[in-house]
Each structure stands twice: as C-alpha cells, then as structure tokens.
Amino acid sequence: MSTAIDITRETTPRRSALARTDRLRVLLSKPANLYRSWPFSNDFMRHIFPVAAATYPQLAGAAAKYRPEFLDGLFERMSPSEYLARAARADVVAMGVVSSMLALNTELTIQRIKALNPLCRIVLGGHHATLYADEWLRRGADYIVRGEGEEAFTTLLDRIDAGLVPRNVPGVSYRDHGEIHHNPAAPLAKDLDSVPMPDWSILNWDIYNLGVSNRGRSATIETARGCPFPCTFCSVSTMWNRSQRFKSADRVLAEIENVYARGVRQLVVGDDNFGAKPARDMVIFEEIARRGLDLSWWCFIRVDTVLRRPEFIRAAGRAGLRFAFVGYESLDDDILRQYGKDPSGRYSVSDYRTVFERLRAANVFVYGLFGRHAETRREKFRAWLSTRQVADITAQTSFIPIKGTPSAADLESRGYQVKNSFYQDRILPAFENDGRDQSSGFVLTALIDLFQPANFYRMWRGTWMQRQFFRRLYGGMLRDLAGVTPTRLRTLWTANRTARSLDARQNSIVSSMVKRLGAKASTRAAGSGIVSFWRRIDTAARHLLGRDFVAAPPRTVTIETTTRCTLDCPMCLRERDTAKPAEMTDDVFERVIGQVEHRAEHVVMYGLGEPMQDRAIVARVKRASDVGLGVQISTNAMRLDREKSAKLIEAGLRYMIFSVDSTNNAVYDQLRAGGDLETVVKNVRGFEVENASRGRPVHTTAQMVVLPENRGQVHEFDRFWRREGTNAVRFKTDEVRAHDPGTPARHERPCPV
C-alpha cells in the first residue's frame, strides 16, 4: 500500500539531537511495573506464564531498518528507575496496550519517560489503544497506531525520522498543535504471508520460561488474526471487524523452524480462535511430526472446535498441544446465547464434559475460562461446585465492559452503573446495580475451586507441567500477598469504600499513584510562605476588630473575563443585570494580572458570566497560574468537554466549582433553563477522570444554591456528588435573591468563593 507524502513539518524538535548524527533510536517496550494492586496484582498471570508476546518481534521485523531494541518492563530483572533511565534514552518508545488492567502502569510509564526526556515520542498500539485512542492522546501518548500495526508503524517512524506530521498515514491518530487527529482506518492486510518475518534477536531469552516443558526456550507465534464470532463481551471482534485471516501452512512452519533453530521448545499459539482452519492445521501437525520438531505448546480454543473435530484434537496432542484455554464462559444455556457465544446453537452446557474428556485423552491440561457477567447471579451455586467435571482448574474472571462492546451498551441500557473501564483494577468491580456489584456473586466459588485438594496433590505428585503450573499459581499468590505496603493497604481500603461510586474509587486510586510516583507535577504553590502567613493574621485581626479595610493587598482577586452565559437561572444576579454581554479584552486582562502579580494569592475567574464562554479562558488560566496565582473557576459544566477539561488542568487550574443545583431532571430544568443534566454529569465525570490521571491537582466542589424547589434534595445531592468523587459538596444560600423582585439583595455577608 502506498501513502502520499505530506511535507508539512512539525514545529517541535523530533529528538534530542537536532542534527542528523545517528539513526532514530527506537525502543519497543512493555511498560514498567510501577503499580501493583493488593492482595493480587493486576498482571497476576505473569507469575504463571512468563513469555514474550509475538507483537514486538513482529514489529521489529517490519521496522528492521531502524534496528529497534526491546525492553520488557514486566519481566526484565531491573529496578523501575533503571528501566526508565534506559527507556528515556530513546527517541521513540513504542508500547502495546491490550487490557484495561495494565492501562495505569502504561500511563505512569509514559509520564515518567516524558519527565526524563520531554522530546521522546510515545507510540501506542493494541486493542486498548485502538478503542481508547482519544484517551491515550490526552494522557501523554504522541501517536496511536490503530488496528494492524506493521505498515502503519513503519511509515510513522519514517515520518518521525523526517520531522513530518503523519497526515494521511492510514490507521494513525496523533496530536498536532494540541489538536487530536484521527486518520482513516488502514485496510487489513489481505495476505498475512506478506507480513515481514518476526525478528527474534531482540529478546533476552533468559527471562522467559512458559512452563509447559522442562526444556528449551519460550516464544509466542501467531497463525491467524481476528475472530468472526459475535461474542458480546469481547473486544477482539470489534478490533478486527469480525474477520479472521490466516497464514499459510508453509509460513507458519517457517516461523516455527525459525524459533526452533534458536532453541525454542515451548510455544504459545497466540490466535484468538485457534482451530478455525482445520485442514491447514492438520498439515502443520503432520509436518511437525515428520520434521521431528519436539515442541510443547498451548492455545485458546472454542468448545465447538473440540466437539466437531475429535480427530483434530488427537492430532494436536500428537503435535505437542499440552495446555488449552477453553472459553466455556457460562454454566447456563440461555446466558450463552445472550453472550452471542454460540449464536447457531451448536452446543450446550451439557457438552462441556465431552470437551474436557477429549482434551484430557489427548494429554492436554484444561484451563476453563468463565466470564462472570451480570446475569451469572442466576447460575446455581451447586453448579459452580461441579466445574472440576469440565476443567482441571477454572479462571472465574469478572467481566470488564470495554468501550465499543455490545455488552457494555446493554448493561447501561438496563440501568446498571457501569464504571469507565479505561482503567480497571483487579480489586474493583466494573459495574453495579441496586447496591450490589458484580464481584460479590462469584468470589466464594472461585476460592473453592482455587483451593481444591486435587490442586495440592498435583503440585507435588502430578506431571512436570502440572507441578509447574500449581507451584507458580500458589507461589505467585504468596509473593503478591507478601508485597503488602501501607500504600497498597490504602488502595484496598479505597476500592472498598462503597459509599463512593466505582468511578470515584478508581479515580482516587489513580490519583494517589500519580502523586506517589511523582509522575506529573501537581499543584503549583501560590504566594510566599511567611508573607502569606502574616497577611492572613493581619486580615483576621482587622476583621475581628471591625475595621473597614485591610492595609495589605487582597489575598483573592476576582476577574470577570466574560458576562456571557447560555443558561437562564432564576437565582442569578444576571436576572437584574441589563448590560449587554461582553468579554474582557486581552490588554485589560494583562494589566490586571500585572497589578496583582506578587501581591494576591488567588484569582477567581467568574462572576455573572459562564467562564467556558470565554474563548481565551485556557490561556488566561495559564497566564495567571504562571505568575503564581491559584486560579478558581465556577462553571455550569455544559461546555466543559473532556478536551477543555484536560487543557484547563494542564494550564494550572487549582479550584473548580460545578454549579449544578439538583440531581433531579425536572428540578434542574426549572432552575437551569437551557441546560441538560445528563450532559453536565457526563462532563463532570470526564473532568474528574482527567484530574485523577494527573494526581488530582484541582480541588473540585459540587455546589447547590438552596431554594424552595430543591430544598428537599440536599441529602441526595450530597450523596450523589460524594460518590462521584468530588473533593467537596457545598450548599449555598440565595444571597442575592434575584428571583424575588420584591426583596432587595442581601449584602450582610459576601457571596462565598
């Protein structure tokens, strides 16, 4: 595929050395392991299956002319500081993000690398990055390669190396002058055999051992991409447009021979749906035997593949299949149909035992995968106790409603409170309803399965692979449990604060980790300590003595940058204001800032108008913050979208008040004519997410002006916004009484700011 060259150049340097003295330094990397939840880490499976993904050798083969290096932050035996120091030396760092579980570690890694080398370019790819491209660009990534990566990634490196903006590079999203751009999606490769061969020389083989055999190195290969099945909970079909493409038998055998020559005897077949092309696979199995390739390997496989092709499973066992993840998903036939797991109805739960028996007969260890969704509450406790009849062990995982999957939309349509799943913690539920979250229904059955006596027998007396598996499983649990720290205990406590919403709990975990790791500078100090202290003492003393003025300059200055507003609120003083709406000019704003610089400590940028109506509000917040002023804004949040939220926080905003007044749609419409409560709540949640990802530098307050119409909602308002994660909830009396023309405005005490 050819791509037209755009000669528009970037305005920022493309790397630390502006002169072309060497090649572009490209580092492929898994993120550093900076954050671990407790009692079990988000990346717990690293204890059981330490192996390198196929993604990085594949990209290294595609971008061979740049001779990229690889650094595995998950398995490499080095401290986080050593990892970050090495990563920051690169001009480009490319990372894959496939799961919400690892999103926080990825973001923390990005921020630390950027802090060490601001000119380093961060490229992200993978399922999660594709589905959340906008989010990642807001969180510090410079480029996102959506979907299939080889050609887009290589073309992107060419543009970066030439100092060009990657316009017209299909499948790439990027930031340019602060704006986010999404190029059209790249077409999928029609022939996977044409994809460059993986470059396995980039790996440090010593840090990997899959554990399905007692000999040889470990690697991952892919024989196909995608999956055509419409499982409602899975992001794979979304990523690959419900398609599956295959490499030829010759290409797969060439890749196997390649790694075999490097000493690999343990393989992961990384296909999302292995066995979908049985005629090809049977050729591969026969050739493995004919060529004398002594391999042990594992794969993901569907129930119907095992049921319909018993000879296929026997041949796979002879070719070295030793471990299979089987996607059972549910113990209820109706739920299977609802998941879209088997839309044609070719099998039922009663067939699971046959699947297990066939795999066991082929000498395959069966790991049964069950996704505990909302509907699994219907499944009987006794049924879960019988899972050993269909698997050697089960993984009863909580369903994560990833953006773009049908299940996520379905839950929301049925009234579930679905957490923003950009981040997901193992210790947090992903949704709740009627005060019950998803995790409470299966923790007990998962623990019972985990501590079956048969597990411990196999750990000491089973096959070599069984001993390895169970020793790694329980050893990993002990290592995670032994890693308890005060910070991790606080994280666990935060995750279980049921009085707060799931999003608020997640945001609190994110912000605490950002602050702890210093990933992003948080609040700016305003005022000089000793001068500020004595100024406050003087102000308090004069107030207590009844003085009419304060000699020192004011601590807080109000600057009205606009009197425009889109809402019509009966309690607002604008009801009595007859002046024509206007905006402050830049020269007036500069003169005011110049007068209060080094004198005031805080500036309040609102009055009669809505600050989001000021087109220069972000620049003005930054100007005031840069001279040491703590900036406060009050907004009705109608125009506070995610992009503006991020810009305001980055500009140095310190305090944000959300003037909402009600959580009831009818009352809100009465008090905030022209607004929309659902839009406001969505925008506030977006601000809280952006704020949390930066360590919560902005103190947020939800505010209600108490009026006869909303007086009975005070407790509900307080509970709602505290669950949403605002730092404070404030109730304000109607000081101006603008809604009552017969009563003069009150001036006994000032309107609180």
pLDDT digits (tens, 9 = 90+) for 579-598: 677 888 988 998 888 888 77
Strand partners, 219: 267
pLDDT at 17 over 50: no
Are 232 and 268 contacting, i.e. CB atoms less than 8 angstroms apart? no
pLDDT at 326 over 80: yes
Strands 179-182 and 417-418: unpaired
- Which tens digits make up the pLDDT trace of 296-315? 999 999 999 999 999 999 99
Burial 725-737 (b: 16+ CB within 10 A, else e): bbbebeeeebbbe
CA angle 582, 588, 590 (to 5 degrees): 130
Torsions phi, psi for 432 (to 5 deg) = -150, 165
Asked if residues 611 and 561 have their Cβ atoms less than 8 Å apart, the reply is: yes
Taking the C-alpha atoms of residue 201 and residue 203, their distance in angstroms, rounded to an integer, is 6
The percent of residues in the chain predicted with pLDDT above 90, rounded, is: 50
Cβ-based neighbour number of residue 57 at 10 Å: 25
Exposed e or buried b per residue across 411-441, where buried means at least 16 C-beta atoms within 10 angstroms of its C-beta: beeeebbbbbbbbbbbbbbbbbeeeebbbeb
> H helices within 276-330, ranges in order?
278-290, 303-308, 310-318
Better-scored residue on pLDDT, 609 or 27: 27
Cα separation, 429 vs 398, whole angstroms: 8
Please give the C-alpha separations between residue 260 and each of 202, 216, 221, 293, 364, in angstroms, as whole numbers.
16, 9, 12, 8, 22
Between 145-149, 291-295, 332-336, the lowest mean confidence (pLDDT) is in: 332-336
Report the DSSP pairing between strands 26-30 and 92-96. Answer: parallel
Read off the pLDDT of residues 650-670 as tens digits, 9 standing for 90 and up: 999 999 999 999 999 999 998
Q: What angle do CA 692, 38, 416 make, to 5 degrees?
A: 60
Residue with tokens 């671990």: 36
Among 653, 661, 644, CA closest to 704 = 661
Q: Check residue 22 and give its pLDDT.
A: 65
CB contact at 8 A, 276 and 305: yes
Residue type at position 507: N
In the prediction, which pLDDT does 376 show? 54
Alpha-carbon gap, residue 190 to 624, rounded angstroms: 55
Residue 84 CB neighbour total at 10 angstroms: 20
What is the structure's pLDDT at 574? 63
Determine the pLDDT at residue 437. 66
Q: Which two tokens stand for residue 6?
A: 């755009």
H/E segment holding residue 121: strand 121-125
Q: Is the pLDDT of residue 248 over 50?
A: yes
Q: What is the pLDDT of residues 262-284, one digit of tens each?
A: 999 999 999 989 999 999 999 99
So what's the pLDDT on residue 537? 67
Q: Are 202 and 56 in contact (CB under 8 A)?
A: yes
Q: What is the CA radius of gyration of the chain?
A: 29
Share of the chain above pLDDT 70, in %: 86
Q: Work out whether strand 728-732 and strand 699-705 pair parallel, antiparallel, or are unpaired.
A: parallel
Residues 6+ apart with CB under 8 A from 708: none
What confidence score (pLDDT) does residue 397 get? 79
| pLDDT tier at 64, thresholds 50, 70, 90 | very high
CA–CA separation, 687 and 685 (whole Å) = 5
Res. 6: pLDDT tops 80: no
- Going edge to edge, which strands form the sheet with 143-145? 69-72, 26-30, 92-96, 121-125, 143-145, 172-176, 179-182
Asked if residue 457 has pLDDT above 60, the reply is yes
Residue 284's identity, in one-letter code, is: I
Question: Within 69-173, where are the H helices?
Answer: 80-87, 103-116, 127-131, 133-138, 150-162
Q: What is the pLDDT of residue 274?
A: 93
130's tokens: 């594709």
pLDDT tier at 16, thresholds 50, 70, 90: very low
- In this structure, the strands spanning 143-145 and 296-301 are unpaired
**Is residue 603 left, alpha or beta, with left meaning phi > 0 and alpha meaning psi from -120 to 50?**
beta
3-state secondary structure of 667: helix
Gap between the Cα atoms of 184 and 270, Å rounded: 27
Burial of 752 (0-12, 13-18, 19+ CB in 10 A): exposed
In the chain, the N- to C-terminal Cα span, in Å, equals: 59
Helix axes 249-261, 278-290, angle to 10 degrees: 40
CA 494-638-687 angle, to 5 degrees, is: 25
Q: Which residues contact 660 (CB under 8 A, 6 or more apart)?
A: 636, 637, 668, 672, 677, 680, 684, 702, 703, 704, 717, 721
DSSP 3-state of 583? strand
Decide: 489 and 482 in contact? Cβ < 8 Å.
no
Distance separating alpha carbons of residues 252 and 586, to the nearest angstrom:
65
- Asked if the model's pLDDT at residue 426 lies above 80, the reply is yes
What pLDDT, on a 0 to 100 scale, did the predictor assign at position 439?
55
Residue 416 or 208, more confident? 208
Q: Are 175 and 167 in contact (CB under 8 A)?
A: no
Q: Could you give the CA distance from residue 611 to residue 565 in angstroms, rounded to a whole number?
A: 8
For tokens 């604060």, name the residue.
Answer: 497
Determine how many CB atoms are found less than 10 A away from the CB of residue 676.
14
| Tokens of residue 354, six digits | 């046959």
Neighbours of 692 (CB within 10 A): 22
Is the torsion defined by CA of 279, 280, 282, 287 positive or negative?
Answer: positive
Structure tokens belonging to residue 77 = 């035996």
Is residue 183 over pLDDT 50?
A: yes
- pTM value surpassing 0.85: no
Question: So what's the pLDDT on residue 220?
Answer: 95
- φ and ψ at residue 347, rounded to 5 degrees: -150, 170
Tell me the average pLDDT across 501-526: 72
Say if CB 149 and CB 169 are below 8 A apart.
Answer: no
> Comparing 37-46, 413-422, 649-658, 683-692, which segment has the lowest mean pLDDT?
413-422
Mean pLDDT of the chain: 85
- pLDDT greater than 90 at residue 158: yes
Give residue 448's pLDDT band: very low, low, confident or very high (50, 70, 90).
Answer: confident
Distance separating alpha carbons of residues 604 and 131, to the nearest angstrom: 38
Quickly state the pLDDT bin for 515 (edges 50, 70, 90): confident
Please state whether 152 falls in left (phi above 0), alpha (psi between -120 and 50) or beta.
alpha
Question: Looking at the predicted structure, is the pLDDT value of residue 693 above 50?
Answer: yes
pLDDT value, residue 723:
87
